[in-house]
Amino acid sequence: MIFILLIFLKIDFRLISEITCCGDDFDYYIHAKTIAIDGDLDYSNNLPDDPYFYKYEGKLAPKGFVGSGILSSPFLLIGNGLDKLFNSSQIMNFEILIYSFSSLFYFVLSIIMFNSCLKKLNINENSFFVLILFFGSGLPYFVLERYSMAHSYEVFINTFIFYLIVNLNFEIKLWKSNTICFLIPFVIMLGLLVKWTNYYLLILPYFYILCLKEFDNYKFPILRNIFTYISIVFSSLFYYFVNSNIYNRFFLDPRIAYGETKNVVQLLNVNENIVLQLTKYIRDTLNIFFGFEFGLFWFSPIVFLILPIIILNIIDKKFKIFVILLGIFIQTFGVVIIWQSTASSYGYRYLLSLIPLCLVYLVSISKNKKYKYFKYYLYPSSIFASLSILFFETNKGTQLSLIEIENSFGKITRYTKPDYLIGYLKSFSNFESYLVIFVTSFFGLIIFKLLISVFGYENLLNVLESNSLPVTNEDFLRFYTNTYQLEYSKILITFLFLSLCSFYIEKSISD
């Protein structure tokens, strides 16, 4: 497991001195920094007065939502403290390094919690299967490379809700039951702070309950517990306090934070010809599922599962689950259809929060004959999707376009790759891709650091050049110089953290 993490952990966004303005990565980082270092929600000393940001009555704030910053702020605080203590170098300073551990921590915790739930429910499923599904979802890209994005925290929140509900069912101690009943509404509210548009969080516990009713001994006492209602009041006040302090006013519409003035009808671009509009929505939906540009069927099998799950619940006449799933489906997929893009990164990242939901339903039908057919598809396709993360942007065939081209939705935009699947398949026979995977991985960094120590900076360059390797490439030289300057302490701490993650993942699988 440790070797897999070393290969998948990328250094592109780690061998830096700071996360620079502007973009989603920067927004979530600034939230964490303001909370951890300043201890407040005043961004005036952290943000430039730029039209990109939210501004109201002189109040500046990031566009990205604050929940990720709340969850990652303890890591940034530790990193900042280590920088002050050891006077760290600017290349991958401790603040950046430890902050980058946050998304991996919550990713690993999600896997551990889910495997723990399987054991409590006496589901005799190979826990390694769960690991494969997580790795093949596309989420690891936003954990091991674009670590400052919100998606690991979305998945953690949704998994944590499931974990609490399962544990509530088996808890016999009153004080623990009360604590869990208090935590569930608070975690839901925290999830909304991570991503306001995940409105389905409000009904997600009920969906989990319906799935778990497949097990005869399941009961759900939360609605009969006074601490649930105390938590609803407390969580609502917490949400109000955070919202008001960040934006200098209280609002529920996330479009306001992004400065979006169009209403839903305008965003959907609804025209008078309903038939043509519905045809386009169906075509766009099929593109999300089966298109060559990160189609879920190819690159996120567990999220693709939502389509057969919906169909299965119609066939089995489980209309409650069907209605809930349809509502969640319309809300989440509607966001993608509105924006008409994969969101300028790897895969359909707006849909990654559905991973726990699909997993829960999958294990709930583990006694059903149809379950084995799902597994026949999920095992090989998840491995195929996992490898795709490694080959992403390793050659021209898998790089997102830096100029405006037409994407798979027919929209002219940058950062898109309408034929990504074809480029990915060709990458298997491209030597350059394997070289890039090695050089941009933490495993490659360790090897180069050791080689530089043995041969010396200049001598190793000469050796590489004599073997016809592209040592004059600007990106390689930057990597080589940064690796040379990087302290061994950063490498050791990263290796120890990855070892701990590997240990606990393996432990959750073997227990």
**Per-residue pLDDT tens over the stretch 245-279:** 998 888 887 878 777 666 665 566 666 677 778 88
Q: What is the pLDDT of residue 495?
A: 95
Q: What is the pLDDT of residue 13?
A: 86
Residue 31 lies in domain: 18-89
Q: What is the pLDDT of residue 12?
A: 84
Residue ending a domain, among 64, 89, 114, is: 89
* 17-43: b (≥16 Cβ within 10 Å) or e: eebebbbbbbbbbbbbbbbbbeeebeb
Residue whose C-alpha is closest to residue 340's, from 449, 402, 415, 452? 415
Which amino acid is present at 508?
Answer: S
Q: What is the pLDDT of residue 273?
A: 72
Q: What are phi and psi of 97, to 5 degrees?
A: -60, -55
Q: What is the pLDDT of residue 135?
A: 94
pTM to 2 decimals? Answer: 0.93
Would you say residue 175 lies in a domain?
Answer: no
Q: What's the average pLDDT block by block, 10 residues per block, for the chain (511 residues)?
A: 92 85 90 92 84 82 92 95 80 89 97 91 80 94 95 97 89 80 95 93 92 72 86 95 90 77 60 77 94 96 93 87 92 90 91 95 82 88 96 94 92 93 95 91 92 88 78 80 87 94 89 69
User: Residue 16 to residues 11, 81, 445, 477: CA-CA distances in angstroms?
Assistant: 9, 18, 14, 14
Strands of 339-462 (E only): list them: 405-406, 412-413
CB 152 within 8 A of CB 191: no
Distance between CA atoms of residues 152 and 163, nearest Å: 16
Residue whose C-alpha is closest to residue 143's, from 94, 87, 102? 102
Which amino acid is present at 210?
Answer: L
Name the DSSP class of 19: P
Find the radius of gyration of the CA atoms of the chain.
23
Q: What is the pLDDT of residue 204?
A: 95
Would you say residue 132 lies in a domain?
Answer: no
Q: What is the pLDDT of residue 418?
A: 95
Residue ending a domain, among 43, 63, 89, is: 89
Would you say residue 449 lies in a domain?
Answer: yes
Question: For the chain, what is the domain count?
Answer: 2
Residue 56: helix, strand or coil by DSSP?
strand
Would you say residue 274 lies in a domain?
Answer: no
CB 142 within 8 A of CB 13: no
CB 409 within 8 A of CB 340: yes
- The answer for 215, left when phi > 0, alpha when psi is -120 to 50, beta otherwise, is beta
Q: What is the pLDDT of residue 89?
A: 67
Residue 61: helix, strand or coil by DSSP?
strand
Would you say residue 188 lies in a domain?
Answer: no
Which amino acid is present at 368?
Answer: N
Q: For the chain, what is the largest distance between any 2 Cα atoms, rounded to a whole number of angstroms?
A: 74
Would you say residue 78 lies in a domain?
Answer: yes
User: Residue 101 to residues 11, 36, 74, 88, 107: CA-CA distances in angstroms?
Assistant: 12, 15, 11, 17, 10
Would you say residue 457 lies in a domain?
Answer: yes
Distance between CA atoms of residues 385 and 354, nearest Å: 16
Q: What are phi and psi of 406, to 5 degrees?
A: -85, 125
Q: What are phi and psi of 128, to 5 degrees?
A: -60, -30
Would you say residue 435 lies in a domain?
Answer: yes
Residue ending a domain, among 45, 72, 89, is: 89
